[in-house]
Amino acid sequence: GENVEQHPSTLSVQEGDSAVIKCTYSDSASNYFPWYKQELGKGPQLIIDIRSNVGEKKDQRIAVTLNKTAKHFSLHITETQPEDSAVYFCGLGTSGTYKYIFGTGTRLKVLA
Amino acid sequence: EPEVTQTPSHQVTQMGQEVILRCVPISNHLYFYWYRQILGQKVEFLVSFYNNEISEKSEIFDDQFSVERPDGSNFTLKIRSTKLEDSAMYFCASSWDRGMNTEAFFGQGTRLTVV
């Protein structure tokens, strides 16, 4: 079945530096790759997503890259700010299923 | 901006009691989901619902769980006889497309504590 692995589990960066979080998946039928940000005590919120017909997508300081051959996708945050501190989850949508599955999460700390 | 709303925000219940968690999905969405997050762990899929029936469910979603869309706006999760291990944050989500390639919008969650 579908599975997604996420690394690292925790990440500390200095303010202004970049952060990269990577997820790998196993099912080649997976075709939708969202990234969610979860702040303390809140529900996950989508920050960026990418579909399987695109290799890269950027939205201001956030970008996502997808390597379908290697079955991995990554979140890139540049010029990190303290408010970027949160837990980030990668997600997976797969044709023929009626669910999204999520990675184990990365706790990002941006140090001022 | 449309949002998914969940009530209550926090529910405390005695072990063995029934609980109903309530959700109002975004109005033009067609697919509805419940997820669970045990403290500090990943967000786990429980069940998806479309056209008034369950589309898919996980191993977690056993006979103690049920879902219902009693009217045109509410979507509920019932746990018949709660166990200590049911303590978690429960998130409702909705999406408008069946292709699993559009955004799922999540509510703020209901924290369920079973004592």
pLDDT, one tens digit per residue, over A16-39 is 999 999 999 999 989 999 999 999
- Which of residues A90 and B99 earns the better pLDDT score? A90
Chain B residue numbers with beta carbons less than 8 Å from the beta carbon of A104 are 41-42
- Please give the average per-residue pLDDT across B87-112, as a whole number: 90
- What band does B101 get if pLDDT is binned at 50, 70 and 90? confident
Q: What is the pLDDT of residue B88?
A: 97
Q: What is the pLDDT of residue A58?
A: 97
With an 8 Å Cβ cutoff, is B56 touching chain A?
yes
- Residue B86: closest CA among B2, B7, B11, B8: B11
pLDDT tens for each residue of B28-84: 899 999 999 998 888 999 999 999 999 999 999 999 999 999 887 899 999 999 999
CB contact under 8 A, A99 and B50: no
CB contact under 8 A, B106 and A102: no
pLDDT higher than 70, residue A73? yes
- Please give the average per-residue pLDDT across A59-79, as a whole number: 97
Q: B102 to each of A49, A90, B26, B65, how far by Cα in Å? A: 9, 14, 14, 27
With an 8 Å Cβ cutoff, is B59 touching chain A?
no
- What band does B9 get if pLDDT is binned at 50, 70 and 90? very high
Chain A residue numbers with beta carbons less than 8 Å from the beta carbon of B45 are 99-102
Residue of A nearest to B38 (CA): A104
Phi, psi (deg, nearest 5) at residue A98:
-125, 45
Residue of B nearest to A47 (CA): B103
Nearest to B100 among A43, A95, A103 (CB): A95
Please, what sign has the CA dihedral across residues B43, B46, B52, B56?
A: positive
Mean pLDDT for chain B overall: 93
